[in-house]
Amino acid sequence: MRQFLFLILLLFLGHTVHAQKRELLDSVVLKASNIRTQSIGQNIVEIKSSEIKKYRPQLTDVLNFETPIFFKENGLGMVSSPSFRGTTAQQTAVLWNGINVNSTFLGQVDFNTVSAHGYSDILVRSGGGSAQLGSGAIGGSILLQNQLDFEKGHQLSLNSSLGSFATLNQSLDYQWSNQKISAQVGGNYVQSENDYPFFNSNAKNENAAFDHLNLYLNASVKLNNFHKLTLYATAFNGERHFPILESTQIRTKYQDENYKSQIAWEYINGKWSAEARSAYLQEKYTYFQNIERPNLKDYGTAKSLVSILQTGFKPNKNLYTEVRLNLRKDWAKGTAITTASRQISKAHLFLKQNLTKNWIYQAQVSMQHTKDFDMPVLYQIGSQYQLKRNHSIKASFSKNYRIPTFNDLFWPGSGNLNLKPETSKQFEASYGFKREKWQFGLTGYNIKISDMIRWLPAEAGVWKPLNTNKVRTRGLEGNAAYNTTFKKFQVQVNGIYAFTEATNLETGNTLIYVPKHKLTAKLDLIYKNWNFIAQTIYTGKVYTQTNNSQETALKAYPVAQASLSYNSSNTLNWELGARVRNLSNENYFVVNYKPMPGRNFEIFFNLIL
Amino acid sequence: MKHFFKSWILLVAVSLTIISCNNDDDNSGLPTPQGKYDLGYIISNEGNFGSPTASLSFLSADFSTLENGIYANANNGNPLGDVLNHFTTNEDLAFLVLNNSNKIEVVNRFTFEKVATISEEIELPRFAAADDNVLYISNSGSQSITVYSLTDFSLLRKIELNKSVEQLELTDNYLFVQNASFGTGKEITPIKISDFSVEQAISLPDNIKAIEEEDDILYVLHQSGVSKFNTNSMQKINTIPFADGFTGVSKFDVEDNFIYFTQGSSIYKNSTNANIMTATALVDTNADGASWGVGYGFAVEEDHIFYTDVNGFTENSDVMIYNLEGEFIQSVTVGIGANGVEFND
């Protein structure tokens, strides 16, 4: 509450002192509210669909190469959990067109069961954002976006690839828009035997096949100059066998079936805007304990209904305010949690103001309520100052949370109804430099997390969740990019480096599966019709035991890949190319005892009509 | 489970008859080890589920030397497997029940060199019991007991019980199968070993946690106390109820007329002829963490009490050793998820 009063005071002061300053806000006329314009003080990386298509069709691969996030991937294509700025898998929020889609059961997203396909862009915002984006936005947030443009005509695109270990990836997308209507429809299908050989043995990755089908349909209609109606829908159906290391082991598999749909009404008129959204989400998992006994399965279904009502007001060029109400209800049922539900209501206030020509800040606060546990007041304050000659500095301070999941609360025999949300306070500051060819950024952050939920072994082999740990993560993130044209070469080079120090404050030990160093680098060369891309990720040593035992630590490793392709844009616009992954044939482990594939190959063909 | 003196006599007798044994015993009268891992404590570490981190540790009888990873050391560095749920021995062999590897590793009891791998009709094995000729395995996946010959390790019989199967206790005439797992189930099924016939189940008033056989008495730890049954007549002898204050007793051991059990970080000791289980602890191990994070493995062997703290399975386990009066002797750090201790002799 004290923070809230402080915030009110700050808003008041800001308003009276600087109400007459000039604009940094987009224009006098309001535009639809957008996460890009509501992230003052924080960094956003944008990955366009043309880039996304150069990676495997699961989110893990693209984000691993394009962001500082570390992914704990249990073997290629298997369960993949992010560690963003040294935080846990539940402390990264994933939003699908503005709706938080972290699993109701697990609180996290398995980044190998979310297709990267079908989005116009993926935005990755580092740092806290729970006031705005809800539970889990502690380490950062991943925003899967569908932008619907108007007056673009028709476009049909087809992408195919065929790779090692009987891997096939096929996608088809169609877009059409005129002045009033815009529509996108498409899908992708991937399948892989995934039976890569292991290093130093005759064994291979047994029982590891996976496939998924992902479909989407998005459409937007401008009813008139003021009103717009948009529909988003997506369906995902995937199956993974879980690999075994010994032939005697029982073969299991896991199926995911997820649906998301949303309808949004947007209204903009002069200084006022309003928005109403309703989303329906459904997630279903089925675990087959033994594929030879198909009746032996566990399943869980969760459904969520989310309604958001918001209004924005821009009294002058330098000030924008917004009020948002959010109501969410989740239901779950299944073999373990037979029935459970939860309702959360939330009110959110947002304000953004130009203090001077070069100085802008935003402040926001959100309060939420649920019957199950006490909810903290969340807030964020961010500011950015534009120095002379392309230099800028910014900073953000926020309080964020991660609520207990349905499994934490209701798992039979284990669920703990006395859990409270994990909370975090964090600060970050950045420096940025931008010129025509150069771009450079450096960010330092400090995150403190209390009441971390941890599952511990209980009596009779049962595990139970508890609010136990205090954790501090701090680090540095640097990025640099350089673009140039040299003779007939177009050259683009960029790199990201993340230094992360995640510490359990009770023991002083480093958290497991958080590398201190992660470096990614990319070279993209275009010469006439040829495109060559070389990329690498270097991941530092990780501990796999909480006592930081050196014997069980995983050594640092580099992984590199390269592709060469030929583009033709005469009558038909097509591209044909080949890619080599794990170029140096590195025997590496992301997760202990989960071997990753050696050098492997892929050919790809893309067509745009 | 045997008294040291008794086992010493037995050992001498056995060592005279075992052909493979290199026993050039002198006249000192002390038992000579029949292999590197004889005459010491074998500690089983189940490992992390989903990874081949199961292991065995050997602790010398005087606690002076500890060797971790003895299976790998004896078998060219090969990992043992995934979740060592239980291990037991007969005269010559040790049987390692690897639940998530879905196999039984049979090793020489004194050298831990591999003899055979059993996987036929194994489906999520839980516990083993063996005499000199036959091995019994409880399989939770098929809710059955599978029986193997120890001459050629072939499957002799699969006894389907269609209810949960967990701990096994073997007497001269019967195999007792605990039909309760993860704290749920109220029955014990006796199987006559002469013809593998399934007898009438023994019923308890509440959920069974563990069973133990000692001197023709079957001790059954259940929610409200320990009940004793005659292992030949199946008749109940009596029940020793818990005093007020016990809520989650899940591990116990019966040794030389005493019943030892744990609740949270404390160890309790009562006579097998007590009228009630007293609420006064023999010793509090002060193992920290929540009550359920500790005491994962518990055993009384060779006049010592072994209590393991598995540290949440996120790092190696500590085994704390006490004498029978509850005085702390020492602790050792073993593998991940230490769940059992047995004296090898």
Confidence of residue A31 (pLDDT cuts 50, 70, 90): low
Could you tell me the two tokens for B308? 């393991």
Round to whole Å and give the CA distance between A289 and A312: 51
pLDDT at A364: 97
Interface residue of A248, A462, A545 to substitute, partner B, most B CBs within 10 Å: A248
**A140-145 and A92-96 strand pairing:** parallel
Round to whole Å and give the CA distance between B120 and B158: 10
Contact B102 A248 (CB under 8 A): yes
Could you tell me the two tokens for A586? 């590195």
Interface residue of B123, B291, B315 to substitute, partner A, most A CBs within 10 Å: B315
Residues in A closer than 8 angstroms to B311, CB to CB, are: 546-547
Confidence of residue A43 (pLDDT cuts 50, 70, 90): very high
Q: pLDDT, tens digit, for every residue of B172-195?
A: 999 999 999 988 899 999 999 999
User: What is the side-by-side order of every strand in the sheet holding B93-98?
Assistant: B84-89, B93-98, B103-108, B114-118
Where is pLDDT greater, at B291 or A386?
A386
Contact B102 A246 (CB under 8 A): yes
* Residue from the list B102, B290, B291 with its beta carbon closest to the beta carbon of A249: B102
pLDDT at A462 over 80: no
For residues A100 and A130, is the Cβ–Cβ distance under 8 A? no
Round to whole Å and give the CA distance between A225 and A178: 15
Round to whole Å and give the CA distance between A184 and A146: 9
Round to whole Å and give the CA distance between A145 and A393: 27
Residues in A closer than 8 angstroms to B123, CB to CB, are: 250, 290
* CA distance to partner chain B, nearest, from residue A93 (Å): 26
Residue in the structure block whose two tokens are 């990201």? A496
Confidence of residue B289 (pLDDT cuts 50, 70, 90): low
Residues in B closer than 8 angstroms to A458, CB to CB, are: 290, 292-293
For residues A132 and A569, is the Cβ–Cβ distance under 8 A? no
pLDDT at A457 over 70: no
Element (H, E) at A4: helix A2-18
Could you tell me the two tokens for A23? 């604009």
What average pLDDT is seen over chain A?
91
Instruction: Flag the least confident range among A21-35, A112-126, A129-143, A427-441.
Output: A21-35
For residues A138 and A449, is the Cβ–Cβ distance under 8 A? yes
Residues in B closer than 8 angstroms to A590, CB to CB, are: none
Contact A460 B52 (CB under 8 A): no
Mean pLDDT score, A276-303: 95
For residues A395 and A382, is the Cβ–Cβ distance under 8 A? yes
Sign of CA dihedral B138, B134, B41, B251: positive
- Helix/strand/coil for B321: strand
For residues B57 and B68, is the Cβ–Cβ distance under 8 A? yes
For residues B165 and B144, is the Cβ–Cβ distance under 8 A? yes
pLDDT at B145 over 50: yes
Interface residue of A202, A288, A292, A456 to substitute, partner B, most B CBs within 10 Å: A456
Could you tell me the two tokens for B166? 């967990």
Residues in A closer than 8 angstroms to B292, CB to CB, are: 456-459, 462, 464
For residue A288, count other CB atoms closer than 10 A to its CB: 21
Confidence of residue A358 (pLDDT cuts 50, 70, 90): very high
Q: pLDDT, tens digit, for every residue of B60-85?
A: 999 999 999 999 999 999 999 999 99
Confidence of residue B157 (pLDDT cuts 50, 70, 90): very high
Phi, psi of A14, rounded to the nearest 5 degrees: -55, -40
* CA distance to partner chain B, nearest, from residue A345 (Å): 33
Could you tell me the two tokens for B33? 């080890």
Question: What's CA B131's distance to the chain center, in Å?
Answer: 15
Contact B51 A593 (CB under 8 A): yes
For residues A500 and A86, is the Cβ–Cβ distance under 8 A? yes
* CA distance to partner chain A, nearest, from residue B313 (Å): 8
Contact A464 B296 (CB under 8 A): no
pLDDT at A15: 40
Round to whole Å and give the CA distance between B64 and B44: 18
Interface residue of B78, B102, B178 to substitute, partner A, most A CBs within 10 Å: B102
Round to whole Å and give the CA distance between A433 and B108: 68
Contact A457 B296 (CB under 8 A): yes
Residue A246: closest C-alpha in chain B: B101
pLDDT at B6: 52
Give the contacts of A227 (CB within 8 A, at least 6 positions apart).
A265, A266, A267
For residues B276 and B245, is the Cβ–Cβ distance under 8 A? no
Going by the DSSP 8-state scheme, the letter that residue B202 receives in this structure is E
Residue in the structure block whose two tokens are 């002069």? A270
Round to whole Å and give the CA distance between B141 and B121: 10
Contact B182 A245 (CB under 8 A): no
Q: pLDDT, tens digit, for every residue of A405-421?
A: 999 999 888 888 899 99
Percent of chain A residues past pLDDT 70, beyond the cut? 94
For residues A326 and A333, is the Cβ–Cβ distance under 8 A? no
- Helix/strand/coil for A23: coil
For residues A490 and A479, is the Cβ–Cβ distance under 8 A? no
How far does chain B reach from its first CA to its final CA, in angstroms? 11
Give buried/exposed letters for A367-389 (b at 16+ CB in 10 A, else e).
bbeeebeebbbbbbbbbbebeee
Interface residue of B46, B55, B101 to substitute, partner A, most A CBs within 10 Å: B101
- Helix/strand/coil for A445: strand
Amino acid code (one letter) for B153? F
Mean pLDDT score, A52-58: 92
Round to whole Å and give the CA distance between A320 and A322: 7
User: What is the side-by-side order of every strand in the sheet holding B155-160?
Assistant: B125-130, B134-139, B144-149, B155-160
Confidence of residue B100 (pLDDT cuts 50, 70, 90): very high
pLDDT at A373: 86
B87: nearest Cα among B37, B125, B36, B141: B125
Contact B290 A458 (CB under 8 A): yes
Amino acid code (one letter) for A567? N
pLDDT at A7: 42
B316: nearest Cα among B337, B293, B339: B337
For residues A427 and A397, is the Cβ–Cβ distance under 8 A? yes
- Quote the radius of gyration of chain B (alpha carbons, Å): 19
User: Could you tell me what percentage of chain B is helix, strand and coil, using 3-state DSSP and rounding each to the nearest 5?
Assistant: 5, 50, 45
Burial class of residue B113, CB neighbours in 10 A (0-12, 13-18, 19+): middle
* Residue from the list A246, A458, A549 with its beta carbon closest to the beta carbon of B292: A458
What does the angle CA A531 – CA A537 – CA A539 come to, to the nearest 5 degrees? 180
Residue in the structure block whose two tokens are 């930081």? A548
Please count the residue pairs, one from chain A and one from chain B, whose beta carbons lie less than 8 angstroms apart.
78
Mean pLDDT score, A171-177: 96
For residues A61 and A71, is the Cβ–Cβ distance under 8 A? no
Confidence of residue B29 (pLDDT cuts 50, 70, 90): low
Secondary structure (H, E, C), A460-528: HHCEEEEEEEEEEEEEEEEEEEEEEEECCEEEEEEEEEEEEEEEECCCCCECCCCCCEEEEEEEEEEEC
pLDDT at B8 over 70: no
Q: pLDDT, tens digit, for every residue of A231-287?
A: 999 999 999 999 999 999 999 999 999 999 999 999 999 899 999 999 999 999 999
The whole-model pTM stands at 0.86
Contact A250 B102 (CB under 8 A): yes
* Residue from the list A293, A462, A547 with its beta carbon closest to the beta carbon of B315: A547
Q: What is the DSSP string of A81-103?
A: EEESTT--GGGEEEEETTEE---
Contact B311 A547 (CB under 8 A): yes
Question: What's CA B282's distance to the chain center, in Å?
Answer: 22
pLDDT at B296 over 60: yes
Round to whole Å and give the CA distance between A183 and A187: 14
- Helix/strand/coil for B80: coil
For residues B83 and B96, is the Cβ–Cβ distance under 8 A? no
Residues in B closer than 8 angstroms to A457, CB to CB, are: 292-293, 296, 310, 312-313
Round to whole Å and give the CA distance between A5 and B313: 44
pLDDT at B263: 87
Residues in B closer than 8 angstroms to A545, CB to CB, are: 314-316
Residue A289: closest C-alpha in chain B: B141
Give the contacts of A162 (CB within 8 A, at least 6 positions apart).
A168, A169, A602, A603, A604
Residue A591: closest C-alpha in chain B: B51
Q: pLDDT, tens digit, for every residue of A102-150?
A: 999 999 999 999 999 999 999 999 999 999 999 999 999 999 999 999 9
* CA distance to partner chain B, nearest, from residue A462 (Å): 7
* Residue from the list A245, A456, A460 with its beta carbon closest to the beta carbon of B52: A245
Round to whole Å and give the CA distance between A107 and A92: 9
